[in-house]
Amino acid sequence: MLRRLALSASVVALAAVGPSAMAAPTYVENFRLTDQERFAHDLFYYADAPAVVLMSMTDGSEVADKSAKALEAMQAAYADKGVAFYMINPQQGATRADMRAKLADLGVSIPVLMDESQLVAESLEFDTTGEVLVLSPKAGFKVMYSGPVGDDIASTLDMLVAGEKPEPKMLDAKVGDQIELLHSDKGAFQNISYSEDVAPILVEKCGACHAEGGIAPWEINSYEKVQGFAPMIREVIRTDRMPPYFPDPHIGEFENDDELTLEEQQTIVHWIEAGAERGEGEDPLLTADLHIEDWPLGEPDYIVNVTPFDLPATGILDYEYPVIPNELTEGKWIRATHVRPGSMQGVHHVTSGYIQNYTKSAELESDSIEGKLPGGSVGSYTPGQNPQAFPEGVGTYLSPDGAYRFSMHYTPYGKEDTDKTEVGLYFYDEAPEYIMRSSVIGDSNFMIPAGEDDYYVKSYLKFPADAEIYVLYPHAHYRGKHVELTMVKPDGTEEILISLPRYDFNWQRDYNPVEPIQVPAGSRLVAEWWYDNSTRNWANPDPAADVYPGDQTHEEMMYFRVNYRWLDETRDDIKNYTEQMMQDRVFASLDDDLNDMLVPDEIIGQRNTWLAASFDKYDANEDGQLDRAEYAIARKDAPVRRRPNQAEGVNEFGDIEEGAGKEPKEADMTSLETPEASSAGVQ
């Protein structure tokens, strides 16, 4: 009783509250929204919680401000009870920066979910600020309370936390400031035309996958098919799972943006909510030319046939690293590539590299410029990946005496299969001036504890010269949930280059900036990953296991590839900037505070126990830190460790390093040992 009285005292009287036939949903369906800090939240993530509390919020509303403070006090009271609290802002024009400032001013920590499409606020019947819904996840997210912030919420929460089943309590909460909903007249939804409004969106944004032979499980080929899947279509739009494009729309602009616009989301969902009626007009899906081309970029100039591989029905397989000599008799420059897996289910991913001068001995290697060009990628594949075209004037050189090296990750899927992956190469007619480079920002110095739902890992690359970036590609495994890449310039200014509020392991893609990203010399590209190793992560293969870095998908990776060129490097003037940068990568992965120094607390991970134990030995000036020069000396004592089947020229992420030679070299701590994988893990 004392706790309830304290809560009441924190609430300014908003209105007289009494029983009312208030409009509120009986149940709340799943949704995903991004908060003011760029993190995504799914309602059904809290299926095991005793309760979820949602409140309508806008900037500039006194009622909303007072209600938010009261709700903050309530969240504190239930902090150890497992109740989830959120505020939802459907206000048009509101920014996350506004919300961050507002929360700081109010002293409120409850996340604000930005409902830009207003689809969630509509379904929750929110039309004024300060309205609260209390949901019971164990009852199918049934609404157990609707009304303003007050003691009635506490009594409902107490019963839910105790495992009891309270009677739903609906009070009149229409006391705050009006929320302007763009589509408040649901009767207008009946006027949405399937043939003129809905079908064209489906063709443009969904047809590339939902076509015959496409990666999607069903074809969008008629109204009847769409009508049958209408509830699913509505659900995947509300949860932002489809189309499979996940960057934050407010950060960066990318060529391969397949996301539905807010208007397109509203059109499709409102049409479905109005009954998904056929209406008048022809069915555009019957005549749409939706099919999958074997080679979307046209017939390749040359096809590399990767060594066939027989997949067993079960088991965990080490990576395969086939090397295939180049049969071309003259040098070629690649302008585009397309990797076509032979087994769509069995091929987890493909990365590649090119070994220049593979068939020549060191004594006979050419002194020409062509003989000194670095070997680069000849294509990669991950789920959802498209053909890869280089910017005009930028390419990768293939010497006529070289060889293709592939890193093949296979995952058995229940039956035997044979993979015959093909790689289509497209060549320039004339040699381009610039060289495509590729580097990975990564970290193998971590362990994600069992049950940890927000584990954080950071690493960076320091660019020694001016560059421009063409491709951003983040990669993690089943525990990866959120990723960002930020450029920290020499003057200290920061620019977020890309943010994925919710990473989806099932869809991994290159993201190509519309305009190349300019990177000044001395800048750091800082990759940040957050991981969810809890039971609430539905994709988690084993929440009871501590997770270490590793190749296999039941292990984890912290990985971010960038494709770029050095601005002052040409095919006639090769620089060693990439080699400099990659030699610094392990130091950078440990330098968590980006101050160019290592302290004992930063020397973590299994692979670095030797350094942690001998830190003082290498601290020559006894300042309690290791600079890059001291660390370089320490590295000479690093133990040699390699993974099973790890090929020369392959880094700790299973990728081919640029310029990899054909002869084995001493390992340089680019790989690590991990504990024996649990047999309970899945691929």
How do residues 19-48 score in pLDDT, each as one tens digit? 333 468 999 999 999 999 999 999 999 999
Angle (CA) 654 656 659, round 5°: 155
Q: Does the structure show a pLDDT above 60 at 517?
A: yes
The pLDDT assigned to 281 comes to: 94
Pairwise CA distance, residues 304 & 354, whole Å: 12
| Arithmetic mean of pLDDT, 239-254 | 95
Size of the chain in residues:
683
pLDDT of residue 362: 40
Which of the pair, 178 or 677, is modelled with greater confidence?
178
Phi, then psi, of 89 in degrees rounded to 5: -115, 110
- Per the listing, tokens 């079908």 go with 199
Mean pLDDT check: name the lowest of 7-16, 251-260, 391-400, 568-577: 7-16
**Interatomic CA distance for residues 86 and 57, integer angstroms:** 10
pLDDT at residue 608 greater than cutoff 80: yes
CB 475 within 8 A of CB 508: yes
pLDDT of residue 661: 45
CA separation (Å) from 264 to 11, 90, 117, 245? 40, 17, 10, 15
Helix, strand, coil proportions of the chain in percent (round to 5)?
20, 25, 55
Structure tokens at 328: 């071309």
Alpha helical stretches, state H, 576-618: 577-583, 585-590, 609-613, 615-618
What is the predicted pLDDT for the residue at 94?
93
Tokens of 447: 């362990």
Q: Whole-angstrom distance between the N-terminal and C-terminal Cα of the chain?
A: 52
- Secondary structure of 619-639 as H, E, C letters: CCCCCCCECHHHHHHHHCCCC
Mean pLDDT within 597-610:
90
- Look at strands 332-340 and 403-410 and give their pairing: unpaired
Q: What is the helix (H) or strand (E) element at residue 287, kind and residue range?
A: helix 284-287
Per-residue pLDDT band for 680 (boundaries 50, 70, 90) equals very low
What does each C-alpha distance from 313 to 329, 346, 477 come to in angstroms? 40, 10, 22
CA distance 230 to 235: 9
Instruction: Provide the strand spans (E) within 463-605.
Output: 467-475, 480-488, 494-500, 517-519, 524-531, 559-566
Q: Where does the pLDDT of residue 214 fall: very low under 50, low under 70, confident under 90, or very high at 90 and above?
A: confident
| Other CB atoms within 10 A of residue 184 CB | 11
Question: According to the model, what pLDDT value does residue 14 have?
Answer: 33
Position 678 pLDDT exceeds 50: no
Rg (the chain; Cα; Å): 28
Kindly report the backbone phi and psi dihedral angles of residue 527, in degrees, each rounded to the nearest multiple of 5, phi listed first: -100, 135
CA distance 266 to 118: 8
What is the DSSP secondary structure assignment for residue 593, as one 8-state letter?
T
Nearest partner of 360 among 658, 662, 664, judged by Cα = 662
Q: What is the pLDDT of residue 24?
A: 83
Span 151-180, mean pLDDT? 91
Candidate from 8-17, 115-124, 388-397 with smallest mean pLDDT: 8-17
pLDDT of residue 429: 97
**pLDDT value at 256 more than 90:** no
Provide the 10 A C-beta neighbour count for residue 629.
Answer: 8
Catalogue all structural domains in the chain, each as residue range(s) with its CATH number.
2-170 (3.40.30.10), 186-287 (no CATH), 302-435 (2.60.120.230), 439-635 (2.60.120.230)
pLDDT at residue 302 tops 80: yes
* Mean pLDDT value of segment 53-80: 96
| Structure tokens, 616 | 């003082």
Instruction: Return the SS3 of 106.
Output: helix
Name the pLDDT band for 395 (thresholds 50, 70, 90). Answer: very high
Q: How confident is the model at residue 677 (pLDDT cuts 50, 70, 90)?
A: very low
Instruction: Give me the residues paired with residue 562 across strands.
Output: 439, 472
Distance CA 235, CA 237 (A): 5
Name the residue among 385, 442, 409, 438 with its Cα closest to residue 559.
442
Supply 354's token pair.
């090119």
Nearest to 467 by CA among 392, 565, 395: 565
Distance CA 324, CA 9 (A): 75
Distance CA 356, CA 644 (A): 25
Tens digits of per-residue pLDDT, 549-596? 998 889 999 999 999 999 999 999 999 999 999 889 889 999 999 999
pLDDT at residue 421 is higher than 80: yes
Question: Which residues of 361-414 form beta strands (DSSP E)?
Answer: 388-389, 394-398, 403-410
Pick from 358-367, 439-448, 651-660 the range whose average pLDDT is largest.
439-448
Residues 6+ apart with CB under 8 A from 58: 64, 89, 90, 91, 94, 129, 177, 179
Q: Residue 257 is encoded by which pair of tokens?
A: 């943006």
> How far out from the chain centre does Cα 303 lie?
31
Measure CA 144 to chain center. 34
Q: What is the pLDDT of residue 375?
A: 85
Handedness of CA 294, 299, 304, 305 (dihedral sign): positive
Q: What is the mean pLDDT of the chain?
A: 88
363 Cβ contact partners less than 8 Å away, ≥ 6 residues apart: none
- What would the mean pLDDT of 308-331 be, rounded to a whole number? 94
Q: What are phi and psi of 612, to 5 degrees?
A: -60, -40
Dihedral angle over CA of 586, 563, 240, 269, nearest 10: 170
Q: Quick check: 13 pLDDT over 80?
A: no
Of 557 and 605, the one with more pLDDT? 557
- For residue 62, the model assigns a pLDDT of 95
